[in-house]
Structure 1
């Protein structure tokens, strides 16, 4: 513990809020400006990132899951009281569970880092946001999106936790107008729809009246219509729920009770007390309005089955409707909507999604009787690329990225765990032959999250060419001579395998923990040289096969390993819609 000097703890990268008369301590990498012209904080002391300690990470993930169950229990009772209803924990899990999962893990990361800072420095102060500037999100999705990118929302959370832990507060910032502008500008993007698209949706939007309702499943409109037709129109899509303007003004009386919910655990007390400000409006002030809006759907029809990919993540109205239907006997099927499922140790997303459904439709894998493999709907329509001289000579290097702030705890890259990932990217480039370098074009993740990745790579990887992200990934991959992926578990790998694009993949096993059932498939890919666990190894292999990529990829032994992996994690079919229709008919009319 440092006793002699006075320090200021910076919790975000907003340097204009830092005092000039104290030594600055950075809470983490997210406090740095990752741009070439912003290096003023590079010499500051920094708190050690806690989640590179894998034992600590494991314990914390389990603790957060226990906290989630405890908080959900008392919150369910409270929500019943304020809304004048009697619903069980399973009902509220479907509605508030996703937000609560993210919120608890986000808060626990910040709580842990702040406690570590307080243990290290005795005389250290920080800043907070004035309560008049506090912001409450509308729903779970907006909170998730904003906490990934919005400095002020993160500062609000850091300030609330700092005051809870007894940090001396240097000053309380009041920037309501600036805060509102940032919050609004970092909202989720709404997809603009053509008149034809809206017309087709209005015609097809009959899921609430059908026996099987399909909601945000990643199945395209044409395929949804075919699926409906093949089930005798017993399965129909839902595109929207009744939309009304809700009064999102803060109900202080309704929120104050959150501060008094019972717990003997310090962190649980922090979670419950901060929910008074941070619980989204749609779960309190807007809940009754939304519930009243979906009641006509329950009167006209309750489907036998509901199938959804991200409905419980995206839409409070859907979540309430599905929870009400479940209490009336509807069976709910979740459906996989991307990579990592079945491959990595179960993430917070997979754990939550499977906890709110009766069955889960996977892209090929299964770990119990409740997981049903079906052709991957996210890969419908992908055509195999024929080996042809028409493909260009480019090697497409595809990357991944996420927020500088930790908004989940997992055995995947997140927050400052990406620093090691960046080091591997540079090492890969440095070990490539000149002719291979000349052919490589890198495709960055669509969002930078303030990391300054392009500037970093331009500085450290001289001559590296960048692809325009406006180009379709699938088109670019299908035209490339080869694809290199620098991360495991991504949807992009499954897409490449489905298109039969020559692909090589590498990643850090410390950043991606493979579940036991998937290890044999990964070992096979490693044995045939498709998968690598070091940047040097993959660079050496790429140098070796660069002039004979198609022959290397088409090797029978290698293709056997690739097809085994594909069958288990990227299952496809020549008749995927018919396979899905057959499955639905069987579930509706079991023999």
Structure 2
């Protein structure tokens, strides 16, 4: 007869019971620095439901279709609640990022819980009451922070377990204890130069026209470049800082509604989701909606912009989104620029959303015949190395990626518990390097560890390897690199190739899946010895070429593959500001 186990959903140890056998919902429960605690338990870990990448592909389709249905239903409900008549695109711009993130996060927890209780004999679960982060987010930015809180994730799992399963519940009131997992530092203080630029912008804004192009968070090389773009557009160059949302109070009486049930192959999840959306939707979209709209209308921005250009604010900045949604509905075109890597090479909800809201999308070089919105320009945040950088450098620089312990949104990447498989691949790679390459190796960790304890894991397993804590800019490390090693489908390898730093890439293509656009380019890189899908073969190649990486990088077959890839995914433009300007002028001139 199977042993009964208490189900623990997060790393908060107060939820692990007293001495009974435990079923951990996932690897995120077992923080490496606390292994003396969980190693002493009679505990097993539930297999991760998205370890099956075929399931990931199918669930991605289902979740996007569900997202579209939910937008229609939520738009109708919000129009009724707020006494407005906005279209779907308005609500997609304002609420769409949160709705997509929450739906996918809840589905991930739902599927994992259902899998666990169907595969194990679960006796009960502990639900902790009084957690500080067991609350509704105030806005999208706050929601992104809460998503990295063990307390909030415990609260979300508890809602599923108590409302939609037969698992017994043991309630414990503990107040605000338990690890909160808050990796983000506070916003960096503005420099005197930045403050002066903002003050100057407030003066120059007096000369703005109602039809000027609004440029905000464009993710160009610098604020100076952003202002140059506006000057070349023939308008007053101004900086448009992010405005924090004015705080409003949560009001439970305004949340006593549910979204009407829809048709779904996941009927139980659909019911759960539609009942929890009213309880979890950020205050800025419900109680604070009128305040948010008023705050957006008070912005000293053009009232009828000829175009709106951003590369980041369309995700997290609710004040911008409220302002933007209104202007787009009135006819202003929205231009979105590529913010970083993964886009075009891999798939993600983030990219699906930005294509859905943009009139034009400016890529770093790739195009898609099935998506006419995409305009291939080049790397808009074109990196430069410090002029004092060594050439060539002396190090083998390996930059590690990072993922949230529990899924925030769906993408072709290492999802949740799979991140430990990714870490294992890095360890295998390092162990297989010859001693010379290993002596030259510098491993850059992520600045935000997210409780993976990567530094401790690597130091315990590979005590002779030098680690960088991630606080130095990547470009500084690339300036020291004789050979750069990319280990995930992110941004840095695009920067290294753009800068012509000898680069070797490896990752699991089942996990970090490639788009149909990218596969031919990566096949060419693989034949040239630039890309590998196996850490052992990658280590052998690095050991062979690193001492004279420049000669290997100059090989005609390598050059041909790298240059073709660069043109497609990290193109160098002789005048990227002029290219962006031309696109904005064309968009502005459309009827």
Structure 2 SS opposite 1:60 = helix
**Which residues in structure 2 correspond to 1:275-424 (within 5 Å)?**
275-297=277-299, 301-344=303-346, 346-367=347-368, 368-379=371-382, 381-382=383-384, 390-424=391-425
Write the distance in 2 (CA, Å) between the matches of 1:14 and 1:545: 46
Structure 1 SS opposite 2:448 = coil
**Residue in 1 that maps onto 2:466:** 465
Write the distance in 2 (CA, Å) between the matches of 1:430 and 1:168: 44
Q: Where does the alignment leave 5 or more consecutive residues of structure 2 unmatched?
A: none
Write the distance in 1 (CA, Å) between the matches of 2:215 and 2:445: 33
How far did 1:389 drift? 6.8
Cα deviation digits, residues 143-200 of structure 1 (max 9, x gap): 123213x110000000001012223343223344448x948x6667323113431231
How far did 1:81 drift? 1.4
Cα deviation digits, residues 428-473 of structure 1 (max 9, x gap): 1121111111111110111111112122212222411112423221
**Residue in 1 that maps onto 2:56:** 57
**Which residues in structure 2 correspond to 1:114-133 (within 5 Å)?**
114-130=113-129
Write the distance in 2 (CA, Å) between the matches of 1:372 and 1:516: 18
**Residue in 2 that maps onto 1:533:** 533
Query: Please, what is the CA RMSD of the aligned residues?
Result: 2.5
The yes-or-no answer on 1:11 pairing with 2:12 is no
Write the distance in 2 (CA, Å) between the matches of 1:554 and 1:51: 41
**Residue in 2 that maps onto 1:476:** 477
> Is this contact kept in 1: 2:232–2:581, CA < 8 A?
yes
Write the distance in 2 (CA, Å) between the matches of 1:331 and 1:245: 27
> Is this contact kept in 1: 2:74–2:259, CA < 8 A?
no
Write the distance in 2 (CA, Å) between the matches of 1:115 and 1:36: 27
Write the distance in 2 (CA, Å) between the matches of 1:400 and 1:18: 30
Structure 1 SS opposite 2:36 = coil
Cα deviation digits, residues 374-412 of structure 1 (max 9, x gap): 132122x525989x9754411111110111112223321
Cα deviation digits, residues 61-90 of structure 1 (max 9, x gap): 122112212222221111111111111111
> Is this contact kept in 1: 2:486–2:493, CA < 8 A?
yes
**Residue in 1 that maps onto 2:92:** 93
How far did 1:43 drift? 5.1
Structure 2 SS opposite 1:238 = coil
Cα deviation digits, residues 299-334 of structure 1 (max 9, x gap): 962102111111121211111111100111101111
**Residue in 2 that maps onto 1:30:** 28
Write the distance in 2 (CA, Å) between the matches of 1:460 and 1:234: 56
**Residue in 1 that maps onto 2:451:** 450
How far did 1:6 drift? 3.0
Cα pair distance change 1:548/1:350, threshold 3 Å: same
The yes-or-no answer on 1:164 pairing with 2:169 is no
> Is this contact kept in 2: 1:364–1:374, CA < 8 A?
yes
Q: Where does the alignment leave 5 or more consecutive residues of structure 1 unmatched?
A: none
How far did 1:276 drift? 3.0
Q: How many residues align?
A: 579
Cα pair distance change 1:38/1:131, threshold 3 Å: closer
Write the distance in 1 (CA, Å) between the matches of 2:348 and 2:245: 34
Structure 2 SS opposite 1:410 = coil
Cα pair distance change 1:547/1:178, threshold 3 Å: closer
TM-score normalised by structure 1 residue count: 0.92
Cα pair distance change 1:261/1:178, threshold 3 Å: farther
Write the distance in 2 (CA, Å) between the matches of 1:95 and 1:266: 27
TM-score normalised by structure 2 residue count: 0.92
Write the distance in 1 (CA, Å) between the matches of 2:590 and 2:293: 33
Write the distance in 1 (CA, Å) between the matches of 2:259 and 2:58: 28
How far did 1:348 drift? 0.8
How far did 1:293 drift? 2.0
Cα pair distance change 1:250/1:176, threshold 3 Å: farther
**Which residues in structure 2 correspond to 1:457-536 (within 5 Å)?**
457-487=458-488, 489-536=489-536
Write the distance in 2 (CA, Å) between the matches of 1:27 and 1:468: 30
